[in-house]
A and B are shown apart, each in its own frame.
Chain A
Amino acid sequence: MSRAVLGADSKRAEGVVNTTPVASAVLGADSKRAEGVVPTTPVASIVFRDVSKFYGEVLGVNRIDLTIGPGITALVGPNGSGKSTLMNLAAGLLRPTEGAIEVLGLTPDQPDQLFRRIGYCTQYESFPRGMTGWDFVHLYLRLHGMPRGDAERLARRAIERVGMVEAATRRVGAYSKGMKQRIKLAQAIAHDPQVLVLDEPLNGLDPLARAETVELFRAFAAEGRVLLVSSHVLHEVDELADRVVLVHGGYVVAEGAVEGVRDELAAERPLQVFVRCDQPSLLAARVFSEDHVVEARLDGDRRGLLVRTENAERFYLLLNRVAGEGVVDIEAVLPADDDVQSVYQYLIGAVAPGSS
């Protein structure tokens, strides 16, 4: 189900800097959704309506129509693809050149209400000079207009949640990159926002802090909050996000659950599934009789079979039948290219080789 094909548009026709148009894929029914992992129809928490942003003559993002609901949505794209522009637009730090943006029904013209419900962890590494971690979280909470006691309680809780209690009394300027990232995160979550916009939040974190932070994000998502997370580390997105939005050259090229997007590409890029079994040759003979199977290749150790199919659902049904017959002992079934990396390469790598 292909959505808008972002071909010739007026801005590009006027000579605006841009990349080659890429077909945009949108999921229909996706597997995670069927499993109940992702809310069915996304509740309109962050809505971009035909949003474009130009920096003078340079394209930031163009004609973005996007609805982001509760759960974790990852914005994926190379540097300069428009991820941060989209996030800054969502958070009201940038104004769209055209189009409109709403977050929980609020527009950026209502910052006094919007920023009580949204927390933004930006990509900027800078902090107001001379502040300790505690000052940074606590003083900016005071800007919300809350009484000192409430601000202190919330600051303490947020600092605890990101594991920065011991370092909170030290100046932010002396923090490591990972600590700065965590204190920024504490500031973003301190006022208990319904929507969290997080620009590369795992950058610079050590593996332990990364795992804890991912857990924190999952906990937020489980509470029904909206998390919009950008990343260019694709395996990170695989383990983190319920949905992905692939951005390239200022355009949204695909959105939905990774598997759903992958399914949309199956006709052009048959899905690869690796099946580990005791009789791969026999299995190969069986699967070749199916019209949706494009290729079946024996693995080097003759203990597995790599199958390329245009219809994953039918292929999995076939495997069930084969397993049920008891002729072939199937040990494992591993999708080989339904991760973000593959989707990204298929959608974007073909256009701009090496861009990922």
Chain B
Amino acid sequence: MNGQAAVAQSTGMRVWRRQLGAMLWLELRKTFLRWRALPVVAVALLPALLLGMRVVAVRLADARALPAAEMATMYAALFQLFFVRLVVFFVCFTVFTYLVRGEIAERSLHFYLMAPLRRDVFLLGKFVAGLVAASSIVLASLALQLPLAFAVGGVTEGGAAYLFEGPGAGHAAAYALVTVLAVAGYGAVFLALALLVKNPMIPAAAILGWEWLNSLLPPVLKKISVIHYLQSLCPVPFDAGPLALPAEPTPAPLAIGGLLLMVGVLLTVAIHRARRLEVLYTGE
């Protein structure tokens, strides 16, 4: 590479970085500094609310504290069945579809399309912005849930030690990783969906059903889902009955790699669609 090409490339990279930064700032303003963010935040906080209610109920009823190991299993069920499959799903649906559909509804998408942004940079900027926004919301919720489950009010026997000194810290890190990967996976699904269909609501409902029925699907089809990879990464097993883990869980590196591959494929599809995107508000 000659000097000129290197300078051109570095200039290009610098411009893209600034463009991504500007997009991030714009999108975060739109996500957080608006009233419409409140329902999303409220839904994200539901698990923390449930755990807080448990603390109050146990204290009021003067019931016995649950051992930390038992609570860890209960929390694993709450995390997988409620938090990831419903809460993170809903937050991602709202945040990521709004990135495109919201702009179309508000007739402001053309301002992006009239900027000197490569369409792939535009799409990646939207994805990163959605990832940061949605992850912030659900990680904040997770950060509230874990102390409420284990360390607040003395309703979990040995909970604080489990969380801060025992295996709980590692589990918390794993839950955080699973949460971010869930946001990336569902985010890519919904961003692609928002570009491909006018009303993503019905396809999203179908995807929700698909995710819940994942354990009943044949092995090949199981891999075409976000939850398949996430389940394998969850640190604490629990008896999920018909929704139980696959007989042979996917090893962590393969699960992460598989999920990232799926995200890559979905973003490639979305970029392809973004390149042909037209502003046709009346016909949308």
Annotate A74-107 by CB proximity to B: 1 below 8 A, 0 otherwise: 0000000000000010011111000000000000
- CB-based contact B116/A112 at 8 Å: yes
How many Å lie between the Cα of A114 and that of B116 in the bound state? 7
Q: Quick check: B19 and A127 within 8 Å, CB to CB?
A: no
At the interface, yes or no: B198 with Cβ under 8 Å from chain A? Answer: no
User: What residues on A are CB-neighbors of B23 within 8 Å?
Assistant: 143
Which of the residues A109, A124, A128, A143 comes within 8 Å of B22, measured between beta carbons? Answer: A143
For residue A302, CB closer than 8 A to chain B, the reply is no
Q: B28: shortest Cβ distance to chain A, in Å?
A: 12
In the docked arrangement, what's the CA distance between A93 and B107, Å?
13
Question: B117: which of A93, A128, A143, A147 is its contact (CB, 8 Å)?
Answer: A143
A88 / chain B contacts, CB cutoff of 8 Å: 279
A28 on the B face (CB < 8 A): no
Please, which residues of chain A bring their CB within 8 A of the CB of B278? 93-95
Q: How many A residues are at the interface, by size bracket?
A: 20 to 34
A111 with B16: in contact, given A94-B279, A128-B111, A129-B34 (CB under 8 Å)?
Answer: no
Q: Which residue of B lies closest to A140 (CB)?
A: B111
User: Residues of A contacting B33 with CB < 8 Å?
Assistant: 130
Q: In angstroms, how far is the closest chain B Cβ from the Cβ of A283?
A: 56
Give the docked Cα–Cα distance between A113 and B121 (Å): 13
Interfacial chain A residues near B110, Cβ < 8 Å: 93, 122, 124
Chain B residues with CB under 8 A of A125: 107
Interface assignment of B53: CB less than 8 Å from any CB of chain A: no
Contacts of A129 in B (CB 8 A): 30, 34, 106, 108
Interface string of A154-184 (1 = CB under 8 A from B): 0000000000000000000000000000000
B281 an interface residue at 8 Å Cβ cutoff? Answer: yes
Chain B 14-70 interface residues, beta-carbon cutoff 8 Å to A: 14-16, 18-19, 21-23, 25-26, 29-30, 33-34
**Does B6 reach chain A (CB closer than 8 Å)?**
no
Are A113 and B116 interface neighbours, CB within 8 A? Answer: yes
A89 to chain B: closest residue by CB: B278
**Is B283's CB within 8 Å of the partner chain A?**
yes
Cross-interface CB contact of A139 among B15, B22, B114, B279, cutoff 8 Å: B22
Q: Which of A55, A122, A124, A143 is most buried by chain B, counting CB atoms within 10 A of its CB? A: A143
Provide the bound-state CA to CA distance between A92 and B25, in Å: 25
Q: Per a CB cutoff under 8 Å, which of A55, A139, A145 touches B26? A: A139
Query: A-side binding surface: helix, strand, loop or mixed?
Result: loop
Determine which residue in A91, A92, A145, A187 has the highest number of CB atoms from chain B within 10 A of its CB, and name it: A145
**Chain B residues within 8 Å of A289, by CB:** none
Interface string of B94-128 (1 = CB under 8 A from A): 00000000000011101111111111010000000
Do the beta carbons of B18 and A146 come within 8 Å of each other? yes
Q: Given contacts A93-B279, A142-B22, is CB(A128)–CB(B116) below 8 Å?
A: no
Query: Which single residue of chain B is at the shortest CB-CB distance from A122?
Result: B110
User: Which of A114, A126, A143, A146 is the one whose CB lies under 8 Å from B106?
Assistant: A126
Q: Is A153 an interface residue when CB atoms closer than 8 A count as contact? A: no
Kindly state the separation between the CA atoms of A143 and B19 in the bound complex, as whole angstroms.
5
Verify B118–A112 contact, CB threshold 8 A: yes
Cα A140 to Cα B117 in complex, Å, equals 11
Closest A residue to B115 using CB positions:
A143
A144 at the binding interface (Cβ < 8 Å):
yes
A115 within 8 A of B: yes
Is B280 at the interface (CB under 8 A from chain A)? yes
Q: Check A217 for interface membership: any CB of B closer than 8 A.
A: no
C-alpha gap A54/B15 in the complex (Å): 36
A130 pairs with B29, CB closer than 8 A = yes
CA distance A125 to B111 in the complex (A): 12
- Within A191-238, the residues touching B (CB, 8 Å) are none
Query: B111 to chain A: which residues have CB within 8 Å?
Result: 128, 140, 187
| Contact pick for B34, options A55, A130, A144, CB 8 Å | A130
Determine the distance from Cα of A142 to Cα of B281 in the docked complex, in whole angstroms: 25
The answer for the CA separation of A95 and B16 in the assembled complex, in Å, is 25
On whether the beta carbons of B115 and A128 are closer than 8 Å, the reply is no
Give every chain A residue within 8 A of B15 (Cβ-Cβ).
145
Residues of B within 8 A of A124 (CB): 107, 110, 281
A115 B116 Cβ-Cβ under 8 A: yes
Given A120-B114, A145-B15, decide whether A126 and B108 contact each other with a Cβ distance below 8 A: yes
- B181: shortest Cβ distance to chain A, in Å? 29
* Residue with the greatest number of chain A CB neighbours at <10 A, chosen from B19, B119, B275: B19
Determine how close the nearest CB of chain B comes to the CB of A242; give it in whole angstroms: 25
Contact B108–A128 (Cβ < 8 Å): yes
Known: A126-B107, A143-B112. A111 touches B118 (CB 8 A): yes
User: Does any Cβ of B come within 8 Å of A286's Cβ?
Assistant: no
Does A3 have its Cβ within 8 Å of any Cβ on chain B?
A: no
The answer to whether A145 and B116 touch across the interface, beta carbons within 8 angstroms, is yes
Q: Which residue of B lies closest to A55 (CB)?
A: B283
Q: Does A297 contact B (CB under 8 A)?
A: no
The docked-state distance in angstroms from the alpha carbon of A139 to that of B23 is 9
Q: Which residue of A lies closest to B20 (CB)?
A: A145
Q: Which residues of B contact A303 (CB under 8 A)?
A: none
Q: Which residues of A contact B118 (CB under 8 A)?
A: 111-112
Q: List the 4 shortest-distance A-B pairs measured between CB atoms, nearest first.
A: A145-B15, A126-B107, A142-B22, A143-B115
Q: What are 25 A-B pairs with beta-carbon distances under 8 A?
A: A55-B280, A91-B114, A92-B113, A93-B114, A93-B278, A94-B279, A95-B276, A112-B117, A112-B121, A113-B116, A115-B114, A115-B115, A115-B116, A124-B281, A125-B107, A126-B108, A129-B106, A139-B22, A142-B18, A142-B22, A143-B19, A143-B23, A143-B116, A145-B19, A147-B18
- Chain A contacts to B: CB under 8 angstroms: 55, 88, 91-95, 109, 111-116, 120, 122, 124-130, 139-140, 142-147, 187
| Given A93-B110, A143-B23, A143-B117; 15 other pairs, CB 8 A cutoff | A95-B276, A95-B278, A111-B117, A112-B121, A115-B115, A122-B114, A130-B34, A142-B18, A142-B19, A142-B22, A143-B112, A144-B19, A145-B14, A145-B116, A147-B18
